[in-house]
Amino acid sequence: MAPQRDDARKPVAPRHARPAPLAESPAVQRRTGRPMGRVRIEDVAAEAGVSMKTVSRVLNDEPNVSDATRERVRAVVERLQYRPHPSARVLAGRRSYLVAMLYDNPSSNYLMEVELGVLDACQAQHYNLMLAPVTYDAKDIVSKVEALVLQSRLDGVVLTPPITDDAALLARLDELGIPWSSISPREANRRVGVVVDECSAVVEMIAHLAGLGHRRIAHIKGHPAHGASEWRLAGYLDGLARAGIECDPALVVDGGFSYDSGFEATNRLLELPDPPTAIFAANDDMAAGAIGAICERGLSVPRHVSVCGFDDTPIARHIYPSLTTVRQPTREMGRLAGLELLKEIRGQGQGGLVTVPYTLQLRRSTGPRP
Amino acid sequence: MAPQRDDARKPVAPRHARPAPLAESPAVQRRTGRPMGRVRIEDVAAEAGVSMKTVSRVLNDEPNVSDATRERVRAVVERLQYRPHPSARVLAGRRSYLVAMLYDNPSSNYLMEVELGVLDACQAQHYNLMLAPVTYDAKDIVSKVEALVLQSRLDGVVLTPPITDDAALLARLDELGIPWSSISPREANRRVGVVVDECSAVVEMIAHLAGLGHRRIAHIKGHPAHGASEWRLAGYLDGLARAGIECDPALVVDGGFSYDSGFEATNRLLELPDPPTAIFAANDDMAAGAIGAICERGLSVPRHVSVCGFDDTPIARHIYPSLTTVRQPTREMGRLAGLELLKEIRGQGQGGLVTVPYTLQLRRSTGPRP
DNA sequence: GTGAAAGCGCTAACAT
DNA sequence: ATGTTAGCGCTTTCAC
């Protein structure tokens, strides 16, 4: 007589008491007569009359399932409202379904928006997003990130400026075979990620100011570690040249992307013997600082001095006067960076470097030369 | 002859190829002669000469381990840089080590800060935080949250205003046995969470304005669904009474916590036959809108009208003139709410309702009555 | 105070 | 095209 093969398949009593007295899978009710809190892949398989593995194949879009079976399984999944247990997938599988976004400055409006975009992309493909603050100038950044990647079994990382330009880090990630995607990387060679043509945007902005009659146009530079600072400076210089304005080096001053740095830089500019009539700050926060400094001297914007920024963060609409700035689609950039990364991770085509469009937002902080 | 018991314990060849050619546990090297990417609890146990379960006890601060053993295991954990695999813990255990923060408005500065605070608390205790956007006026909010809680096996939730005042939701969470913690709940009875004495803060603010000579002080109310709107209105009325000022109902206007609502409300106030000389807006965004509306009419702050807000979000420092406001320690509030929740979850004492202090931030947007 | 064995719910490898 | 089996790394139960 053959061994009792049916018995071997019979589910044993579960170890833990089932917690919730809620929705219940018919398959489980039939089997156990007990209420339970969660439908499992086994229940779906039983209900659809296939093996667990077939259900797994359908769930993961793997080949070798007939269309009919696929449809039947999908219907049961839907009816039972089955969702795979994330931890079980991670533990059993090769993937962690986890990507991290590496960033330096934790509380900027810019990164916040980028984060939301990356989250959009991840959620759509049932990946999780982990936020990983990294001090970009720390000496051990490479080993810190390596520990994180290994510890959390990351499937990939999204890199934000300026971390995205750390050559040693990129090399190590490549060695580890961890896919990565860059947001606004300084160099575009062989990259996956997303960029904006910032230089052209600034050229347009300078043309706008020149069109208003301004000749003495100052620039407050961004933080030197960021590629954006470089592009925005390049656009400023190019824009001046195209407008036939000779650049006065005294009108180009250092900044660091913060409100305070914009405030101080503007004070220096206004104390010049021949001060500017317009200021292009490398981001909105510094532009806000510029407006603060100008107003504090009893001058007014744009009557005495025009001011413009870059990024179009919420503050641009909320200060008085509202800020002329360059809008980059920050959230969309996060989403696209996430999408390209997931392409690489899931091996569904090569990720690439996507260029997204900017828009000039003309508001009240720029006006005719006094 | 006894069965080959040693054989039974001998590790079998692992199913997956080990990915990373990096750090290696001595125990594993000895056992397998292969490099591997990760130390496991088994390696720690072998190295410390105890069972897996004992290591597990030490890791989870469970009783029934001698101090000597505990120390020895801790040392090995440290030396091997062992970290438990999160998914394995979740899958095997009863807990998910996951809490969610439920919120309505995804992009407010306020919630952003709260989030960072909750994250502080969670990370310190190796819990994960999940962000859960919930439209607070959706009809099916209870079932939505229920699905989330069951699906993700949440160990607990942090509730933010105004969701934290949804009685049906709270009742359901109690039924499910899910611990929750409230940030600024409307009613304080039997709650776990954190509150600020907002009413007293506003009373002080009104006293500040009255001290500057203002008698016609307007109030732009917050969104009616939020308890905060109620307290801030109550503080306004109480503050007026204490200053011996009779309340003019025409000076109390509706708002919704947004910049635009503050802007519009202020336009209405300034068109009054006898307009106010000071405006207390129920939050900073509306105060920024008030300043915008005042400036747009060619008036100046605080020379013609004083303005003050509530929250001390970053915009308060970044607008001109800088905003007099009430500072609530938002991030700390998030942290404390998280801490109290984790107390409940981990059964280490009862969570309670913590009151945190506010501070008046006097800046440039308030001045003497014109 | 400590350990052995049995799963948690899923997927990889290898049948068929 | 589909099923079977053996784990993933940890915690639980229960025996000692």
Residues A81, A84, A89: CA angle, nearest 5 degrees: 175
Residues A87-126: pLDDT tens digits? 899 999 888 888 999 998 766 778 888 988 998 998 888 7
Determine the distance from the C-alpha atom of residue A282 to the mean position of all C-alpha atoms in its chain, rounded to a whole number: 20
Whether the predicted pLDDT of A363 surpasses 70: yes
Whether the predicted pLDDT of A28 surpasses 70: no
Q: Does B174 touch chain A (CB under 8 A)?
A: no
Q: Which of A36, A318, A364, A365 to mutate to test the interface with B (most CBs of B within 10 A)?
A: A318
CA B340 – CA A348 distance, rounded (Å): 45
Q: Which residue of B has its CA nearest to A87?
A: B87
CA B183 – CA B158 distance, rounded (Å): 8
Residue A147's pLDDT is: 82
The phi-psi region of residue A183 (left if phi > 0; otherwise alpha if psi is between -120 and 50; otherwise beta) is beta
Rounded to two decimals, the pTM is 0.83
List C-alpha distances in Å: B302 to A305, B124, B262, B321, B370. Answer: 22, 44, 17, 8, 9
**Average pLDDT of B8-18?**
37
* Confidence bin at A346 (pLDDT 50/70/90): confident
Whether the predicted pLDDT of A37 surpasses 60: no
DSSP helix, strand, coil percent of chain B (3-state; round to 5)? 45, 15, 40
Beta carbon pairs, A and B, within 8 Å:
84
Task: Using DSSP, state whether B356 is helix, strand or coil.
Answer: strand
CA A244 – CA A215 distance, rounded (Å): 9
Calculate the average pLDDT of chain A. Answer: 87
Between residues A206 and B31, which one has the greater pLDDT? A206
What's the gap in Å between the CA of B364 and the closest CA on chain A? Answer: 11
User: Looking at strand C, which nucleotides approach a protein CB closer than 7 A?
Assistant: 1-13
A60 beta carbon to strand D: under 7 Å: no
* CATH numbers and ranges of domains, chain A: 26-84 (1.10.260.40), 95-196+331-356 (3.40.50.2300), 198-327 (3.40.50.2300)
Any idea which of A155-164, A280-289, B145-154, B236-245 has the lowest mean pLDDT? B145-154
Closest residue (CA) to C1' of nucleotide C9 is: A88
Residue A220's pLDDT is: 98
Between residues A270 and B10, which one has the greater pLDDT? A270
* Confidence bin at A133 (pLDDT 50/70/90): confident
Residue entry with tokens 């001090």? A135
Between residues B303 and B94, which one has the greater pLDDT? B303
What's the gap in Å between the CA of B135 and the closest CA on chain A? Answer: 17
Residue entry with tokens 């860059």? A182
- Within 240-279 of B, beta carbons closer than 8 Å to A belong to 259
Q: Which residue of B has its CA nearest to A294?
A: B320
List C-alpha distances in Å: A175 to A160, A162, B22. Answer: 20, 21, 11
Residues A3-20: pLDDT tens digits? 333 333 333 334 443 333
Whether the predicted pLDDT of B60 surpasses 70: yes
List C-alpha distances in Å: B345 to A15, A100, B153, B181, B342. Answer: 22, 27, 13, 10, 5
CA/C1' separation B14–C13 (Å) = 11
Residue B83 and residue A151: Cβ atoms within 8 Å? yes
Q: Which of B82, B91, B300 to mutate to test the interface with A (most CBs of A within 10 A)?
A: B91
Residues A204-243: pLDDT tens digits? 999 999 999 999 999 999 999 999 999 999 999 999 999 9
**Average pLDDT of A29-41?**
54
The phi-psi region of residue B80 (left if phi > 0; otherwise alpha if psi is between -120 and 50; otherwise beta) is alpha
A190 beta carbon to strand D: under 7 Å: no
* Confidence bin at B16 (pLDDT 50/70/90): very low
Residue A91 and residue B87: Cβ atoms within 8 Å? yes
